[in-house]
Structure 1
């Protein structure tokens, strides 16, 4: 390991000191010959992380040596469990976990200063000296250390509010120990901010002088804060006091650079027992391969203050005192077992690496047909009222049940999970989201596993692409399998339990592309199988009966000679948001799209010619912004029968989506050009109700008819008058949504301070509407609902349904 590199070796044009760890480790890895990928805004979008939360992730980057691929957030490996991160973020849980491994802690306790009883308890139970700090915070903000008397505590409490942590103040030297794999690799000592008197200048003037010097070194300045006043008061000083020449004045009990103090690199042998201490921490959190422990050495033991799961490296790369330590290189060597140094040690241009990365990713190209030039059709009744009502698939299944004269009941089970059921004349059936209990858990588990599904279909004599399941890091086995394929064979890589096309790469034509596809999959287990040329079709079956088919196409735009690709995407996304199903499936710019555009010679700023078509992705997935074209009437009987056979291969599968690759679904099957690639037990029902192009299909009604016998489907009409606080509070809009969800035709209008509703549908749906009307919306207060039958139904005021 190198131990001589300093911060200046990593500091180059374009470097952000805010991301020292990410850049330093990335550049150290590049020098060691590893592949480096910075995962910025496009990666956040790919993960569907809101950009206003992206800064919470810091800088994500990925390192690879061709055998192992790891993603980090600064120094935090994303393999660290959420439970470990949550425990360490909670001072009390962390202290309890560490204490169970005989690690001495500061014994933190929680108090709420806004609660008089808790406030009083803090005073009565206080054991001096103590430390007070906010529950959440960093960089020493709001921290008061070494409070020694009740009077000092009273003074400090006047400056704090809300929940605070109270812990014992430990006398001794404070250190930060850096560990890799449970072994200490370096340590620094933290010194408090201080000044040295000259017999002439005041404390305030000396602080200003020191801050000027620290500013030139780009270090945090000494703060004029309450903690500083408290420390000066203990020394019987004020800001206007003039210390004697050579007199050293400690300005705060808070240590380290963030408080204006100094950082000193110290040898590990100056901290007896730090090896056993780090091993104990690693035992408490075995997935935490990198950490920094803030400790106090009392001379008898190390007392832990905090365990940092994402430690900064700048203190080691550029300490104020002592020799620097190249933690970035040590970090890379630990995770990749001393990779060979393939480059010289001269600083690398961050911008050059970024530019190289833009052209380094490999994604397959798509050679499919252009989207049919038809106008979108949305013929579902009350389409606009189905927006923002939760799970759209569940909603339309429930609506179908109401229309069938069945009773729908929503509830929470004993485990706290939301479930719903449908009751007909002599049967009740439970659902989990849009999957009925008829589909067994075992079948659901098989269909969740793409390789298990493949084996199940093959046992039924249904052709699937030849392939195998692998651990994604088992490069030797993957390489052996791939090298044995006939020359020129193209393959597909997909996560074994993935959904929505995430992590899938198709049309892989080389070994290098295969390795990159394994990176892109971001999964511990993958299926690698033969790539079948053809278009992607989703056929839905219920009870072994074909219902409908969708042709799925990758996200695309068509030029008009005026707008850029970016503008065309925005225009198309706006149109998709009018569709209750497609509104959440907008086109998102990500690394795959960036590569696809680059390969086509385009950028987001390109203006496509009139009618010029541009595919933006390689994966035909609607959830990724792809288009769905209804082709139900074109499906050849061979493909209908194939889909039905695929469903019947699973004995207890209520309904499912069968994904088929084929060159022409309207002609007889060509076995050499057809394959079933997936069976989805919890498929998207709304996909067929709201296609991008073509005729909507009432598959929800067909599914419900297969699952349950119809109840009383005779349609009745009723008139409701609602009194109370029901005008000016959005009650009509809410009532219209309830009617749409219940499958009712309805007309709604205000009459003075009352609301009138005319509705027609099944008896159970009308009864449920009456119950909901008296329950009311959030802001309304209905006091009376009167109801009478209507002999002649007239949806009066239908336009007013959409009025707020």
Structure 2
């Protein structure tokens, strides 16, 4: 089963200097922010995070500076995109109009403000012929996007869902176009990355049920930073699509059979990012580039396209000035594209000669988020990077040492020696300490700390080896929960509660199936046989 799920997946396609460097706090929805900030910081730029209000909600932006020049960023978006360009792209209806006027192929459609009635919207849907797509004008992350709407009733329900449940009063109705959904990243008039978003799916192995395949696929997604918090959730849509394919959650698909679980291809709802830059034709690249040129003041963005290979057509759906770049960095298939490098090259061309490919350090993000969330501080300056390549060693220590008890003492000693790393309990008798310094001598110096009288009597043995993985600046006590922020712990509790609810639903579903079997005619007819079989087993057991 595992082999079928992991087909095409390998870290070899990822950027080595980003593997194991994305803190859990950044994996939920901050990968774009963190990786661009990390690239700039590793080049020696000054990095600052600060709080701002996003639609009356507190959020985080950041800046990078070199000498007296500062650039401000919001996720993967930067200040070299004009305010006018951002305003246009935030309005899907206005974007479509601009693109259409510039001769860019777009699906036929129209935007409707909150004052437009249900009847007007349905009438327009009929005029462009079903099927259609309905989506919010100012939506994000695929929220509220309903595709392949085929009837007046379906359009009416989709509109009610957006306006009444999600609160999106302004919507767009457009043609539903068949094809692959591809996010193309354009920077300075060039295509630097393209990712196809494949709808949530599982591949059969001829052994496991669809339900088990989904569970395994979700475990697989936890190995990928961009997908860690984006599991496939078994909801009514998933069940309906499985049923439409002639299966149930308990069905066992044959080996190699792919079962699609969503109509939309959004990564947030379980989609797979597939790197396809080399597959784009010259015409498709030209359409994406010209779409960006059609918006005044737009220098870099994500271009969402529908590409139909069968009839060789391509259309632009929308432009995103703050696109998530996690799919480009951590695809499940294909080779990653170093979008952060290209962005920093663009904003700070004088640093192009500074390579970060051999860097093995990264900065703490949890403390930054916690500090800004505390309300007393509006900005946090990250300490400048002294050396982007540290020498690290791992010490396996046996004895009666309690990490929690000695953490603060060790932390002080480590900082005094200008070292970084962490301490973690492995089992009842062993702990590991990873230490990194600027030179081999610095890393070796930690042995003198371990020989201190406060520890020496409690250590029975020490072994050491080189540490090859990246190092976070600072020194911390690590375990599954101590390294999490309060916000992440709350999220963890919520996730566990959701998992418990899914287990309860599964138990109820199995219980109902058992009751149905017990009520069946064949079960009642075979009752005497089961009774007789039980008596025979009793006799044999005596």
TM-score by length of 2: 0.63
Aligned to 2:411: 780
Q: Partners in 1 of 2:74 and 2:235 — Cα distance?
A: 32
Aligned to 1:301: none
Go from structure 1 to structure 2 and tell me whether the alpha carbon gap of 1:442 and 1:541 turns closer, same or farther (over 3 Å shift): same
Q: Partners in 1 of 2:467 and 2:317 — Cα distance?
A: 46
Aligned to 2:232: 587
- Answer yes or no: is the 8 Å Cα contact 1:747–1:801 preserved in 2: no
Go from structure 1 to structure 2 and tell me whether the alpha carbon gap of 1:746 and 1:563 turns closer, same or farther (over 3 Å shift): farther
Q: CA deviation at 1:438?
A: 2.2
Q: Would you say how many aligned residue pairs link Structure 1 and Structure 2? A: 387
Go from structure 1 to structure 2 and tell me whether the alpha carbon gap of 1:372 and 1:454 turns closer, same or farther (over 3 Å shift): farther
Q: Partners in 1 of 2:391 and 2:86 — Cα distance?
A: 42
Q: Partners in 1 of 2:409 and 2:151 — Cα distance?
A: 58
Aligned to 2:466: 797
The answer to whether the aligner puts 1:460 opposite 2:95 as a matched pair is no
The equivalences for 1:421-432 within 5 A come to 421-425=63-67, 427-432=69-74
Deviation per residue, 1:116-171 (Å, 9 max, x gap): xxxxxxxxxxxxxxxxxxxxxxxxxxxxxxxxxxxxxxxxxxxxxxxxxxxxxxxx
- Answer yes or no: is the 8 Å Cα contact 1:399–1:742 preserved in 2: no
Q: CA deviation at 1:427?
A: 2.2
Deviation per residue, 1:454-479 (Å, 9 max, x gap): 01211222121111122577122123
Go from structure 1 to structure 2 and tell me whether the alpha carbon gap of 1:704 and 1:480 turns closer, same or farther (over 3 Å shift): same
Aligned to 1:678: 318
Aligned to 1:300: none
Go from structure 1 to structure 2 and tell me whether the alpha carbon gap of 1:483 and 1:778 turns closer, same or farther (over 3 Å shift): farther
Deviation per residue, 1:630-670 (Å, 9 max, x gap): 01111111111111111122222242110111112xx9x94
Aligned to 1:657: 302
- Answer yes or no: is the 8 Å Cα contact 2:204–2:256 preserved in 1: yes
The answer to whether the aligner puts 1:476 opposite 2:119 as a matched pair is yes
Q: Partners in 2 of 1:674 and 1:492 — Cα distance?
A: 17
TM-score by length of 1: 0.44
Q: Partners in 2 of 1:751 and 1:606 — Cα distance?
A: 49
The answer to whether the aligner puts 1:505 opposite 2:146 as a matched pair is yes
Aligned to 1:610: 255
Aligned to 2:171: 526
Q: CA deviation at 1:594?
A: 2.2
The answer to whether the aligner puts 1:436 opposite 2:78 as a matched pair is yes
The answer to whether the aligner puts 1:547 opposite 2:196 as a matched pair is no
The equivalences for 1:621-700 within 5 A come to 621-664=266-309, 670=312, 673-700=313-340
Q: CA deviation at 1:710?
A: 2.9
SS in 2 for 1:419: strand
SS in 2 for 1:422: strand
Q: Partners in 2 of 1:697 and 1:777 — Cα distance?
A: 40
Go from structure 1 to structure 2 and tell me whether the alpha carbon gap of 1:715 and 1:482 turns closer, same or farther (over 3 Å shift): closer
Match of 2:344 among 691, 700, 704: 704
Match of 2:22 among 355, 376, 386: 386
Go from structure 1 to structure 2 and tell me whether the alpha carbon gap of 1:501 and 1:410 turns closer, same or farther (over 3 Å shift): closer
Aligned to 2:8: 374
- Answer yes or no: is the 8 Å Cα contact 2:43–2:354 preserved in 1: no
Q: Partners in 1 of 2:111 and 2:359 — Cα distance?
A: 59
The answer to whether the aligner puts 1:493 opposite 2:134 as a matched pair is yes
The equivalences for 1:245-256 within 5 A come to none
Go from structure 1 to structure 2 and tell me whether the alpha carbon gap of 1:602 and 1:799 turns closer, same or farther (over 3 Å shift): same
Q: Partners in 2 of 1:690 and 1:392 — Cα distance?
A: 10
- Answer yes or no: is the 8 Å Cα contact 1:406–1:710 preserved in 2: no
- Answer yes or no: is the 8 Å Cα contact 1:535–1:663 preserved in 2: yes
Go from structure 1 to structure 2 and tell me whether the alpha carbon gap of 1:711 and 1:777 turns closer, same or farther (over 3 Å shift): farther
Q: CA deviation at 1:789?
A: 6.7
- Answer yes or no: is the 8 Å Cα contact 1:506–1:618 preserved in 2: yes
- Higher CA-based Rg: 1
The answer to whether the aligner puts 1:450 opposite 2:81 as a matched pair is no
Q: Partners in 2 of 1:777 and 1:635 — Cα distance?
A: 54
Match of 2:40 among 382, 401, 404: 401
Q: CA deviation at 1:569?
A: 0.8
SS in 1 for 2:390: strand
- Answer yes or no: is the 8 Å Cα contact 2:128–2:175 preserved in 1: no
Q: Partners in 2 of 1:646 and 1:515 — Cα distance?
A: 32
SS in 1 for 2:156: helix
Q: Partners in 2 of 1:431 and 1:615 — Cα distance?
A: 36
Q: Partners in 1 of 2:229 and 2:315 — Cα distance?
A: 29
Go from structure 1 to structure 2 and tell me whether the alpha carbon gap of 1:588 and 1:798 turns closer, same or farther (over 3 Å shift): same
Q: Partners in 2 of 1:680 and 1:636 — Cα distance?
A: 22
Go from structure 1 to structure 2 and tell me whether the alpha carbon gap of 1:392 and 1:714 turns closer, same or farther (over 3 Å shift): closer
Aligned to 2:393: 749
Go from structure 1 to structure 2 and tell me whether the alpha carbon gap of 1:719 and 1:792 turns closer, same or farther (over 3 Å shift): farther
- Answer yes or no: is the 8 Å Cα contact 1:470–1:527 preserved in 2: yes
Q: CA deviation at 1:684?
A: 0.8
Aligned to 1:24: none
Q: CA deviation at 1:441?
A: 3.5
- Answer yes or no: is the 8 Å Cα contact 1:630–1:693 preserved in 2: yes
Q: Partners in 1 of 2:360 and 2:240 — Cα distance?
A: 59
Q: Partners in 2 of 1:440 and 1:397 — Cα distance?
A: 19
- Answer yes or no: is the 8 Å Cα contact 1:402–1:742 preserved in 2: no
Q: Partners in 2 of 1:618 and 1:752 — Cα distance?
A: 50
Q: CA deviation at 1:705?
A: 0.7
Q: Partners in 2 of 1:450 and 1:777 — Cα distance?
A: 52
SS in 1 for 2:228: helix
SS in 2 for 1:780: helix
Deviation per residue, 1:59-80 (Å, 9 max, x gap): xxxxxxxxxxxxxxxxxxxxxx
Q: Partners in 2 of 1:499 and 1:743 — Cα distance?
A: 38
- Answer yes or no: is the 8 Å Cα contact 1:403–1:742 preserved in 2: no
Q: CA deviation at 1:498?
A: 1.5
Q: CA deviation at 1:777?
A: 9.3
Q: Which has the higher contact order (CA 8 A, sep 6+)?
A: 2
Q: Partners in 1 of 2:386 and 2:239 — Cα distance?
A: 44
Go from structure 1 to structure 2 and tell me whether the alpha carbon gap of 1:385 and 1:706 turns closer, same or farther (over 3 Å shift): closer
Name structure 1 gaps, 5 residues minimum: 1-370, 721-737, 754-775
